Amino acid sequence: MSKTDARVLSWMKKYLRLADYLGVAQLYLKENFFLEKELAAEHFKPRILGHWGTVPGLNFIYANLNYLVWKHKTDMMLIVGPGHGAPSVLANLFLEKTLREFYPEYTLDGRGMGQLVHDFSWPYSHFPSHVTPSVPGSILGL
């Protein structure tokens, strides 16, 4: 393994932990996103819309495909179903700064991250519990 590949692998492990945390936080937390206090019942959303089981797998695929795009200088399209894996798609769009291009309030910092976690599947926010046309890069058809 080259030194570059080893560095990328080390980075990818950290990236995946963050993307997974963003996914689980979107699903379950309505506040205390940075775990500054001990978790309590009032920090959790009363109704969970989405599926944690899809998030780590989608994050793994997303990160590895991005690595291949970078390494081989190629174009690629990831096709993901419209179901409840949206926390993964949104986490990755947030981390690569694509989300910010369309929604400036989702800055790549604590404030933007907290906004994303709070807004996922929350009334009157940009993002319901599934991938919709409001998600940058999504193509929906019948």
Residue range 83-111, pLDDT digits in tens: 778 999 999 999 999 999 999 999 999 99
Q: Which residues contact 9 (CB under 8 A, 6 or more apart)?
A: 1
pLDDT of residue 123: 81
The C-alpha angle 91, 54, 27, rounded to 5 degrees, equals 55
Indicate whether 141 pLDDT > 70. no
pTM summary value: 0.90
What gap in Å lies between CA 14 and CA 30, rounded to an integer? Answer: 24
Question: Which pair of tokens denotes residue 110?
Answer: 């604590």
pLDDT of residue 89: 94
Average the pLDDT over each of 18-32, 81-95, 128-142 and give the range with the smallest value: 128-142
Indicate whether 25 pLDDT > 90. yes
What gap in Å lies between CA 107 and CA 53, rounded to an integer? Answer: 27
pLDDT of residue 142: 59
| Residue 64 host element (H or E) | helix 55-72
What gap in Å lies between CA 65 and CA 43, rounded to an integer? Answer: 34
The C-alpha angle 22, 48, 24, rounded to 5 degrees, equals 15
Instruction: Please give the mean pLDDT across all residues of the chain.
Output: 90
**What letter represents residue 93's amino acid?**
L
pLDDT of residue 132: 80
